[in-house]
Structure 1
């Protein structure tokens, strides 16, 4: 019976994935069409009407797709229909871009020369116009034929035109995979579960008498259900709670009425030893809540809500629970979504437990128990390959158990069989059926996403395995790819950040590095989830990934339409044939994005780009060109013909000069020249009126103690009115650049260097006009040059910069500008080489949101005192190179949330900060190149227990790191206490 149900569920799942993937593509195209029809006035006559008709037909198809997913048949005809919808969508976008490329009359110059060119172009483009109109007609015929097939499916499958309501909500995942994580209880219970189990039991049985909600958060497959089932069935829990009930929410269609009925039925069986009365089945939501509340009155109960996807579930359930009472009632909630886990804790006492992956030792134990059941020991000749396979699981219990079960069928004497599994793990997840259990669980979170988030998540498959993904680069690419939809009152970059937060909230993206205020800096995805996303992306033809290292090279087929090409590595050996194949095939005619990762030799880069971009005019439709970390020393001339290019990234290349031809890229929105050798931008950059981000700083003369070098911007840089980010430019000798900055009223991030004292007034005047600024970095022309930013009315400047979150100042400050303490939104402040006479702490201690403070040679005094009640939100503190500083004092009640303290090059300090023991949340103390006496006091033992007095002050700190220079070669000796 279970096998039949499983087979039926798998068919549903496969069909649903196909329809949802097609919906993603079609919906994305619709948003593209809408933008084009609203913003561009160049679609005229019959061609514009044809495009609108295509849009209408595709809109009807999406309504069908949302209903079709509820059908159970796994019909290959439906899959072919979906494929045709997808290709029609992509080809329509191609035709639109080709139209814009051919007939963009706004690019023609005025005057006699312009008139001549327009006449010549119109004669030249008559044939092209006819061809494009013909292609639109062909697409219309294709969509009409697809529509006719849709009608046939509607008849065969009984599908109505009604669009499924709330498709993006979890209500429509009721047919999805039944939760089988609980089936793993017997297999996983002995590994890595005892500690969390004891912790959760202690939370449930604590002395708190009010209702308490315990949330368990984690990605799919971490074993949340397994853990809670063990807790739920523990004898101590059974003894303490009079009533218990367990509801798997995803099996109740997420309908509150059904959920409450399930709870009532379980409680009635425990109270009355029988099922509920018949009239319960006719009750509505309000009556059911009253009944449940009366049933639980004066009783101690435990309720488990497993696999909750929506905060509305708790918001409805809490009104059905008795108010007041001192019985120590408990509710346990498991979820993959952070906002769901946090929701109950706003209005009730609670505890949030984040599930962690198994350690390698725990993973190895579980793996061996399942794979080598006889002696639970891995044969020596299989150890390396097993460790490699286990590394893919990344501590995910579900993956370990399922893959172990798969490996038990392999010949333990045949190493080649095991190597084939290791190499083909991605293919196994793609659809062999053998590892469907993992794929189904990990895909569940993806399936629940709205279509716009699915596209953004799929895009993460461009990054290589274990690649630290910069969040800013990711969101910028989303914007450039037009994956981000406009939202009232928000710029696209803000919407993209909201998308990222939502994917993090759903446990699909893991944050690996973040700012003090919680903003993510870098992220990653689980290896197995990445394999699934790569598979889906390939099926959707969202991207083609080419790994050109060794034998894993993949060249697109000659008849394949490559939309996005991602190259993960490029080595010299054995690539000549690959370049030839890539250049000769016609697969790049529809290319939209070219992205590279890893180091690429200069000669190979030029040859490769030439072969991709120079054969066929349609290849000029490229929109994303990201060649970061390649060894390019110049921009290939072919790039300047890419009129549709929105993003050009040459970060960390050897580029020294930006040609004047850059002005041809009129649709460019992102120009990333960070960490190159470029020192000056041509005046033609001013033609890029759509430019939103200009990142152009160099490493020339850079040291870790001073700001990176800026570049010289052209005269009248203020003409780039669309700029949101300008980082970093040099201030010129006559204040022109400083004055021009005030014209960039949309700026969110500004970095300016080489500032002189006399530039201060002009800079303050410009800053008053930048009312949307979030980040500001200012550097003087050299360390001893004074930065004078106190030449404007304090109230005026603090009002203009009320949204400022990050402030970095590099250079001398005679005094701290008066407007800075009024910036209540500041979360991060860095002062370098300020050399102030006055204590800077008094200006910062009452900033309500300050979470990071970094002071490098900022104060000339002998000591700093952190007063009680100050720095309430501070999490990270760094004090460096204050030559006269001898002591630091921390009063009780100061910095109550400090987590990391770094002290560097404070040679006169011979004791740890006084009162450091009051910092109870401190997790890291880092001491770098400090006084030898202080280090000796920490390391040597002089007490009864062999622990020095200084060491006792930080006994509560989990990690203490000491690093000192050991010789003149500036080599470090690092030790941990």
Structure 2
């Protein structure tokens, strides 16, 4: 239903646009389009009602009707796009004979004055026939509505998404080991004891421990916890996911790169075959104590290759293998020192604890009135953590009432009966939560079925694809890329909160994940749903398979990286494919691009390849999103300039030194992403629709042209401070960017932003400013105009009390990372944050400095602050005082303190840490404290332990010494 609903919404937007624009349509044609719009709106209402029905209650007939409507909508949209493309002049190579019916009749009616050679009567008869064919199909589908008998339903209002702290608490527990993940503490202790037995012995055999259990029972979580707790005891290590259809060469390349990290990027591993890679691994591990986790091994054959690579060198090495297959588990476990560990489903107590923790938050608590129904729900989850978390995530977003929980319980059906397979059980549970998703989220989640197993999926790239394919619907038809991206990012966060995708690389400033992965079981579910709904086709095996319905068109094509070439037969119609994504070397055997007539999104690793020529790019007239990775020929870059309707171009992961002038012809381009070492051509200012641009080097000509891009919302630049003329041109341009919402600056020398021609002309709507790897002379004074600034990351050379007061007065500032450069200065030793309602919106604050200075927080400040990060240099606080007023931060939940130990002895360091703990113990909110030490190798010995003062490193009175070890920059 959700796919049909999305397709109809996109089509309606285009039909409305067609009516509004000046296409000189004759009255009869305009009337027919109005008719189509009216009919489709009626069917959209029906789809919305179907989407609100409980899972499993939609009849097969209703599903068939929705699929027919979806395919019809796609076909009409393709025709409308072809027509609008010709009228707008974007298809210079188009032949009218190649246009589809709907576009042809509109083309001939709308441009009839230009067709001198065809008699009007003949044209009108042909138009009438083609129009009749389209309207007949619409009427047939519309007529089915009367047989659907759908009870009324009310759509749920769309609400703003916020990152769910519950899932982050679970993730932090696993990552930082403050607490063991629910249910694995016992198994983890037993396995840790087994793995570390006799580790001090000189002659130790290789030990292989296999962890076996049901998919989703927590094998990977347990293995990851063991890996992170024991990895420091080994000389080299690797954590390798395998998956169902592994790429052997890629796997052994990853092993070699992880166990031998120093050689990464400086070898020819990519040119070696599997046997050569295995020999290299054996040679390198021959005298090393290593620890390797091989996650999710499905068959015996792949394990035999691993076994050959693992050297039993009597150094006490350890290997963990996780698998769902008992035969594989028995084969892996070494007979002498190893073990087979069967990970059982969670106990009733642990299931309940995990369930309540996910539904109600960190503590879970007692909920006696819900215990009975919760027990019934948990019984159906069978102790499988993934099923428990998924079901609990569903309930977390619903009223905490017995009636609502019983409704969900009844919807579960009999998915966990004994006569079903394990995967079927899991699919039943996960399918329920899938169909309980809002209809706008389901197509976005289904899109993840196109990605390989164990794939790291970049958030920004994913959201842009959603936007390009119309999965984030532009209901207003305004085409504002930033607003659509913002909405798509909220969709992403919602999917994280509902535990459908696993967040990766969580941003330390705003807490939003920069990437995600998909659990294998959820991916299996999405693939099956994708096939059922004809959403997309994965070419990941030697068998070409698609939906069982041969009458539907292929809409999306994912080319998986395989050892064996997989080709699409010439007989298969690819003209309606909207999206092609190729991973690794898969594009080597991709069909020619000329077979993709209506392609909207294209993502490739390298171009051209065997079946494709650069000139084929120019025929992709409907292309809206293009991402190219790897090495690109100059001819390819030149051809990109012919894609007149391209909106998003991502070359950030491509090897490109300079963009050609032809790029400046992309007048519809809204997003341009390149690497930081790419030179821009002259004339970049002609791309007047650009809303997003990164990473642009600040040099005079390019910087001057930025001022012409008045639609710019997000700008990422580098190279400030190297050229005074370039800096001045950039500041002049900055004053023209009145729509700018995000400014990101990196890899720049010491620079100043204070020389705006007129501070009143600053981009006053700016919401985010982030400066990384860059030091600014001082806090720009025009920041005081930024009444909408929400996030600020900045390092300054000079900091004053006036700067603190200015920032504190910003009404919307929620996230602040403020650092004073290592050799910078602070005007006074004490910076005060007074009680005159400063920082009233601030939620997270990080303050780092190397001067002899400290913050003093007055009562009533930072009333919303929940997370505080501080840097404490022990030797510069003679009395070790830490009385900064932490008790005045009434909403504080978490404090992180980085203790610089250089020049201090252990007693001083421990005294500071004790005082910090005491201060937070006395805090009314009892916030958590996370302490870390840096420069510990430069601590002084205590007199009683060495007989004299002696530092580990340079003398303690050397104030100019700066410790640059990597831990000090966290």
Name the TM tier (shorter chain): 0.5 to 0.7
The reply to whether residue 41 of structure 1 matches residue 23 of structure 2 is: yes
Verify: 1:776 aligned to 2:736, yes or no. Answer: no
1:748–1:775: 8 Å Cα contact kept in structure 2?
yes
RMSD (CA atoms):
5.4
Q: CA deviation at 1:475?
A: 3.4
* Residue-by-residue CA offset, 1:829-856 (whole Å, 9 max, x unaligned): 2333635688843442333325222315
Indicate if the aligned counterparts of 1:514 and 1:521 stay in contact, CA closer than 8 A. yes
Among 61, 67, 76, the residue aligned to 1:92? 76
Alignment counterpart, residue 649 of structure 1, candidates 615, 627, 644: 627
Contact 1:966–1:972 (CA under 8 A) maintained in structure 2: no
Q: Which residue of 2 aligns with 1:562?
A: 554
In the alignment, does 2:10 pair up with 1:28?
A: yes
Partners of 2:579 and 2:600 within 8 A in 1: yes
Alignment match, 1:479: 467
The TM-score normalised by the length of structure 2 is: 0.58
Measured after TM superposition, the shift of residue 62 of structure 1 is: 3.8
User: 1:826 & 1:399 partners in 2: Cα distance?
Assistant: 34
User: Per-residue displacement from partner, 1:256-311 (whole Å, max 9, x unpaired)?
Assistant: xxxxxxxxxxxxxxxxxxxxxxxxxxxxxxxxxxxxxxxxxxxxxxxxxxxxxxxx
**Conserved? CA contact 2:868–2:896, under 8 Å:** yes
| 1:454 CA drift (Å) | 4.8
CA contact (8 A) 1:757 1:787 kept: no
1:846 pairs with 2:846: no
Residues 1:720 and 2:683 aligned together: no
> Deviation of residue 536 (structure 1)?
4.3
Report the secondary structure of 1:620's partner residue.
coil
Q: Which residue of the partner structure matches residue 826 of structure 1?
A: 789
Going from structure 1 to structure 2, the CA distance change for 1:94 and 1:128 (only over 3 Å counts) comes to: closer
Residue 834 of structure 1 contacts residue 857 of structure 1 at CA under 8 Å; is this kept in 2? yes
Which residue does the alignment assign to 2:216?
none
Distance of 1:74 and 1:813 partners within structure 2: 60
Residue correspondence of structure 1 range 394-405 to structure 2 within 5 A:
394=389, 396=391
Distance 1:909 1:620 in 2: 70
Describe how 1:885-964 pairs up with structure 2 within 5 A: 885-893=851-859, 895=862, 897-903=865-871, 914-915=882-883, 918=886, 921=892, 923-927=894-898, 930-931=901-902, 933=904, 937-939=908-910, 948-949=914-915, 952-953=918-919, 957-962=928-933
- Cα distance in structure 1, aligned partners of 2:460 and 2:673: 12
Deviation at 1:693, TM superposition (A): 0.9
Residues 455-604 of structure 1: pairs in structure 2 closer than 5 A: 455-462=443-450, 470-483=458-471, 484-487=473-476, 491-498=480-487, 500-501=489-490, 508=498, 512=503, 513=506, 516=509, 534-547=527-540, 555-556=545-546, 559=550, 561-567=553-559, 569-571=560-562, 573=563, 575-576=564-565, 578=566, 581-582=567-568, 584=570, 586-596=572-582, 600=584, 604=585
List per-residue Cα deviations over 1:916-949 (Å, max 9, x = no partner).
561652524252765262766445xx79xxx844
CA distance in 2, matches of 1:926, 1:659: 49
The SS at the match of 1:106 is coil
Deviation sequence 1:557-592 (CA, Å, 0-9, x none): 79462211235x524x2x22x2xx335451433211
Cα shift at 1:875: 3.8
Alignment correspondent of 1:409: 418
Q: CA deviation at 1:680?
A: 2.0
Describe the SS at the equivalent of 1:686: helix
Measure the CA separation in 2 of the matches of 1:816 and 1:355. 44
Relative to 1, partners in 2 of residues 1:523 and 1:875: Cα closer, same or farther, differing over 3 Å?
farther
Cα distance in 2 for residues equivalent to 1:159 and 1:407: 31
The 3-state SS of whatever aligns with 2:781 is: coil
The answer to whether structure 1 residue 442 and structure 2 residue 433 are counterparts is yes
- The CA distance in 1 between the partners of 2:608 and 2:896, in whole Å, is 39
C-alpha spacing 1:40/1:486, structure 2 compared with 1 (3 Å): farther
Secondary structure of the structure 2 residue equivalent to 1:34: helix
Shift of 1:481: 1.5
Q: Provide, for residues 318-337 of structure 1, a one-character-per-residue CA deviation record: whole Å limited to 9, x for no partner.
A: xxxxxxxxxxxxxxxxxx9x
Indicate how the Cα distance of structure 1 residues 537 and 770 shifts in structure 2: closer, same or farther if over 3 A, else same. same
Aligned to 1:271: none
Closer/same/farther in 2, CA of residues 781 and 960 from structure 1, 3 Å limit? closer
Number of aligned residue pairs: give it.
683
Provide, for residues 584-638 of structure 1, a one-character-per-residue CA deviation record: whole Å limited to 9, x for no partner. 45143321112346xx1xxx24413xx3234xx4513211112379999999554
Instruction: Give, in angstroms, the shift of residue 877 of structure 1.
Output: 3.9
Give distance in 2, aligned partners of 1:975 and 1:66.
52
Partner residue in 2 for 1:639: 617
Tell whether 2:736 aligns with 1:757: no
Equivalence map 1:796-835=2 (5 Å) = 796-798=760-762, 800-808=763-771, 811=774, 813-832=776-795, 834=797
Tell me the residue number matched to 1:226: none
Which residue number corresponds to residue 300 of structure 1? none
CA, structure 1 residues 623+952, in 2 after alignment: closer, same or farther (shift >3 Å)? Answer: same
Q: For residues 816-837 of structure 1, give each alpha carbon's deviation from its aligned partner in whole angstroms, at most 9, with x where no partner exists.
A: 3321233232223233363568
Cα deviation, residue 901, structure 1: 0.8
Distance 2:870 2:570 in 1: 57
Partners of 1:811 and 1:30 lie apart in 2 by 47
Preserved CA contact (<8 Å) 1:890 1:914: no
| Aligned CA distance change for structure 1 residues 152 and 773 (closer, same or farther; 3 Å) | closer
Shift of 1:725: 1.1
Match runs of 1:274-285 below 5 Å = none
8 Å contact kept, 1:475–1:493:
no
What residue number does 1:688 align with? 666
Distance 1:139 1:933, change over 3 A: farther
- Give, in whole Å, the separation in 2 of the partners of 1:590 and 1:630: 22
Q: Secondary structure at the match of 1:591?
A: coil
Spell out the pairing of 1:240-259 with structure 2 (5 A cutoff): none
Name the SS for the 1:29 alignment partner. Answer: helix
Residue 464 (structure 1) shift:
5.8
The farther-off stretch of 516-525 and 860-869 is 516-525
Q: How far 1:58 sits from its partner (Å)?
A: 3.7
Distance in 1 (CA, whole Å) between partners of 2:899 and 2:618 is 48
State the distance in 1 between where 2:144 and 2:415 align. Answer: 41
* Residue number in structure 2 paired with 1:316: none
Distance in 2, matches of 1:665 and 1:521, equals 29
What corresponds to 1:767 in structure 2? 734
Q: Which residue of 1 aligns with 2:588?
A: 607
Partner Cα distance (1:685, 1:146) in 2: 41
Long gaps (5+) in structure 1: 1-18, 109-117, 171-190, 194-335, 342-350, 374-385, 411-419, 699-709
**SS of structure 1 residue aligned to 2:744:** strand
1:151-162 pair list within 5 angstroms:
151=143, 154=146, 157=147
Contact 1:889–1:914 (8 Å) recurs in 2:
no
Give the Cα–Cα distance (whole angstroms) in 2 for the partners of residues 372 and 717 of structure 1.
57
C-alpha distance in structure 2 between counterparts of 1:39 and 1:853, whole Å: 47
| Change over 3 Å in CA distance of 1:406–1:961 after alignment to 2 | farther
Using the alignment, how far apart are the partners of 1:73 and 1:826 within structure 2?
47
The 3-state SS of whatever aligns with 2:825 is coil
Q: Note closer, same or farther for the CA distance 1:132–1:367 as it changes in structure 2 (3 Å cut).
A: same
Structure 2 residue runs of 5 or longer lacking an equivalent are 106-125, 159-180, 184-354, 396-408, 922-926, 939-952, 954-962
Structure 1 pair 966–539 and aligned structure 2 pair: CA distance change class (3 A): farther
Contact 1:648–1:671 (Cα < 8 Å) also in 2: yes
CA–CA separation in structure 2 for the residues paired with 1:613 and 1:910: 72
Distance 1:681 1:902, change over 3 A: farther
- Worse-matched range after superposition: 772-781 or 43-52: 43-52
